[in-house]
Amino acid sequence: MTLPGHPFLASHDDQLTLEGHSLTELGRRFGTPLYVYSRNAMRAQAASYQRALAGRSHLVCYAMKANSSLAVLQTFAEAGCGFDIVSGGELQRVLTAGGRADRIVFSGVGKTAEEMRLALDARVRCFNVESEAELSVLSEVAHAMGRRAPVSLRVNPDVDAGTHPYISTGLKANKFGIAHEQALAAYARARALPGIEVMGIDCHIGSQITSASPYLDALDRLLDLVDALSAQGVDLQHIDLGGGLGITYTDEEPPSAEDLVRQMLGRIDARGHGHREVLVEPGRSLVGNAGVLLSSVLYLKPGEEKNFCIVDAAMNDLVRPAMYQAWMRIEPCQRRGSTVARTWDVVGPVCESGDWLGHDRKLAVEQGDVLAVLSAGAYGMTMASNYNTRPRAAEVMVDGDAVHLIRERESIEQLIAGERLIG
């Protein structure tokens, strides 16, 4: 029996499995904390976007900040995807994983001149520029190299995505993009700069969006600008619709990738822009439900007000609950019919009261059991830290019958290798 929203995760003979592999056995084999990903789940999600865009010029750019592990990037590169990057380091990761520079769009509000040079040397497809100040610096850098930088301007449409304020990016109060009212003037400035070649327009309003309405509202505002630019003789080659489609953590019912993209394409066609190339930048929706975090139960600590299930994964391994108060489903990897279920707070060993993975979870669990935190493929390992001098977890990718260790567990020696005593 598969779990809702997790087609490659199933309960079979009282064991939780991913692509048929027992998660309990993987936790025992590789140790915990451990991230485990389904490669076929990632492929299936990428294919859903590609099906929706079939028949027209398009590029699916994986927003790699969601999960930047090399084997994950390799999976999407082999699936024909491009990449949405936000740093020079992410550029190097894509190239190391076999991604093509001409399929990279470079986003982010604070690109440095050195990062611009690296991206121009690599010949990335496009820079998504987020301010007029950035335009000026990029033009100077490109002109000094004898180049013209291909750009889209990221427009902030002032549309509420209805998501957590930390991951909302399309409002006037957010730091991202150029205000809608200032966009035409910014395009005029871009066209006048010697090191800039205007290619497209970009919009991204947030993350974990569970309704099509904010996308369509933002798209209408974007297409108004495309119309106005066309009237001024600016013929944009592409429209970048951004990403941010949510996944099911609890009872959310986001539209499927195919349904969302088809609605947006219908709006584009109706406005007379179906001939333009379409870019999308999905992240969480490609990898979120493809991954789990495995953690072993260290101790059970019943109390007068709370019962604590203390596990070996912590906020340094998975920061979403502490940072966003995110609810993530937690399941025992082995069902125990003889154990009475109780209500537990699942907490880690880090010395912070905010170190928790789940509050008030009814679990039949015993010391030594392995638990799985679901929907951990996005913003899990990529946001991990070494707080309390804790080595980061290992990562495993399952692919049919194969099991691949894609990142070794860090050692204490690696953590302190770059440090120096004085004298």
The domain ranges of the chain are: 2-38+288-416, 107-282
Whether the bond between 282 and the residue before it is cis, its omega within 30 degrees of 0, is no
Q: Is it true that domain 107-282 has CATH number 3.20.20.10?
A: yes
Block residue for tokens 């569970």: 210
Q: Give yes or no: 351 in active site.
A: yes
Residues with Cβ within 8 Å of residue 242, at least 6 apart in sequence:
202, 203, 204, 205, 280, 281
| Rounded mean pLDDT for each run of 10 residues along the chain, 423 residues in total | 82 92 98 98 97 96 98 98 98 98 96 98 97 96 98 86 47 68 94 97 89 90 94 94 92 92 95 96 97 98 95 98 94 89 97 95 96 98 97 98 98 97 94
Query: What is the sign of the dihedral through the CA atoms of 129, 133, 137 and 143?
Result: positive
Q: Strand 149-156 relative to strand 196-202: parallel, antiparallel, unpaired? A: parallel
Using CA atoms, how far apart are residues 174 and 198, in angstroms rounded to an integer?
Answer: 24
- For position 173, what pLDDT does the model report? 52
Q: Which amino acid is at 145?
A: M
Q: Is it true that domain 2-38+288-416 has CATH number 2.40.37.10?
A: yes
Closest CA to 295 of 330, 247, 262, 328: 330
Cβ atoms of residues 256 and 286 within 8 Å: no
Block residue for tokens 């190299």: 145
- For position 161, what pLDDT does the model report? 54
Cβ atoms of residues 354 and 315 within 8 Å: yes
The catalytically annotated residue of 81, 126, 203, 351 is 351
- For position 169, what pLDDT does the model report? 47
* Token digits of residue 127: 């820079």
Residues with Cβ within 8 Å of residue 413, at least 6 apart in sequence:
none
